[in-house]
Chains A and B, each alone.
Chain A
Amino acid sequence: MICSGLLAGCGGNVKLAAPTIPEPLLEQINMSVGVRMPEDFEHFVHEEEIYGQQSWSIDLGRSNAALFEQLFAFMFANVVILGPEDDPVLMPIDALIEPSIDAFEFSTPEQSNTEAFAVWIRYRLKVYDTEGKLVSNWPVAAYGKSQTTTLGDSDALRNAAILAMRDAAALMIMKFDNVTRISSLAGGASQPRSPLIPRQQSTEAGEQAATTAPEGASNE
């Protein structure tokens, strides 16, 4: 009870609460994007048995979904989270972003011969234009490292995972537009052909951009 109540994980079991990233200092991109999360972003569990040591189960829960929801809300003027049944062509968006996770890896202090846990997360970001054409496919490699503490290994591993997510967020804020050129798609928002049921309310600026953009406008 002490383990589950205080540490939310004990021994080889680690459970992450959804991380909170600080409000970044950046210039928001004035465009409307749709975001389609993969199913495993809502409940991602990494299990690994280290030879000669204990087995680990790292439950990220919906941490990945929470990370990208927060991040894109900071980065873009208007964000619409698409459900599995939503057709992006019918949405008033300039671009569609599909994040996914390619790999999750970690090392223990015994493996690295240090006093720290390290976590590597490789995300992939696919960006599509309004016609559904893939315009960018960007792998994002993030890294977090945390020293063991008196609270135990679970706490250090959990902290390393959060730092890796934060590292990914920092990298995306810095490089997203340079790598994907997503801002060049601004103004290409299509008019919805049927009533929308967005999961996230549009901002006023985003609504204006979406409604004033001519259908089929160029990416300039």
Chain B
Amino acid sequence: MSNRVIAIRVSAVLAAALLGSGCITSTVIDARTSNTGIGENESVVIMAKSYHLGNETERKYIRCIEDKLGGGRDGLNVIPHEQFVDSLFPWFEPRTAPAETKNLAKLMDRPGVSEAIAAQGVRYIVWLDGDTDRVAGGGSLSCAAGPGGGGCFGFAWWQKDADYDASVWDLRELESSGTVSTDVSGTSFMPALVIPLPLIARTQARACKTLADQLHSFIVQEEST
């Protein structure tokens, strides 16, 4: 077998590995409690529920939702959460942020709060709760190297679950509009026969896309007249 043929076969295997991915299953559901809708000058803020309450939503997940909701031709106006929190200091800190919509009215009465919210046109706050965890894994993979070369042999796999809930608060009506939840499970594989071939399930990225898409539909729903 010529070197050229070997090179072509190795390239084909690598391309398959790069194009391939692990197995992903996902579900997304929403529960609406009131009508929504958003105007041209209105905006949305994506926040993580407080870590004082045990929540561990990743910052990169928040940014991903911000980017997906704000991106594209139909993107919403998304205020970066750091900017929003700073502009309302100290009332949206992990310790002080309202935990329930019934606290919103009192919050709005505090000096400067309603003005700061109005100045940024914030209509909805989306509170994210949840995280991505590795829940299982197994297999065996070993690599060795010697004077004549090296390689890996074996098979490894792991599973990650991404569970996120998004509570949508309407700051104009001072009430909850409902929730959107996504549950994504992804299993990644890495078979190795000399060369490891990672088949990675991008669990968190899928959870970001499914939740952001559903949130977009949830928020832009036309208000009933």
Contacts and interface: CB of A to CB of B under 8 A. Distances in A.
Nearest to B82: A22
Interface in B92-126: 93-96, 110-113, 116
Interface stretch (A33-41, A81-89, A125-133, A163-171): A163-171
B86 A22 contact: yes
Interface residues of B, number: 20
A24 B90 contact: yes
A192 B90 CA distance: 35
Interface residues of A, number: 20
Given A25-B116, A167-B95, A174-B96, A143 B90 contact: no
Given A21-B89, A114-B56, A145 B95 contact: no
Contacts of B111: 25-27
Nearest to A143: B52
A170 B95 contact: yes
Contacts of B89: 21-25, 170
B173 interface: no
A7 B160 CA distance: 31
Contacts, number: 42
B212 to A, nearest CB: 20
Contacts of A167: 93-95
A22 to B, nearest CB: 4
A162 interface: no
A157 interface: no
B119 to A, nearest CB: 12
Contacts of A116: 56
> Which residue of A27, A163, A170, A171 has the most chain B CB atoms within 10 A of its CB atom?
A170
Contacts of B116: 25
B113 A25 contact: yes
A145 B48 CA distance: 13
A147 interface: yes
Contacts of B91: 25
16 contacts: A21-B89, A22-B87, A24-B89, A24-B90, A25-B88, A25-B90, A25-B110, A26-B90, A26-B111, A27-B111, A114-B56, A163-B94, A167-B94, A170-B89, A170-B93, A171-B95
Interface of B: 51-52, 56, 58-59, 86-91, 93-96, 110-113, 116
Which 10 A-B pairs give the minimum distances between C-beta atoms? A170-B90, A25-B112, A22-B89, A22-B86, A170-B93, A145-B51, A24-B89, A173-B90, A170-B96, A24-B90
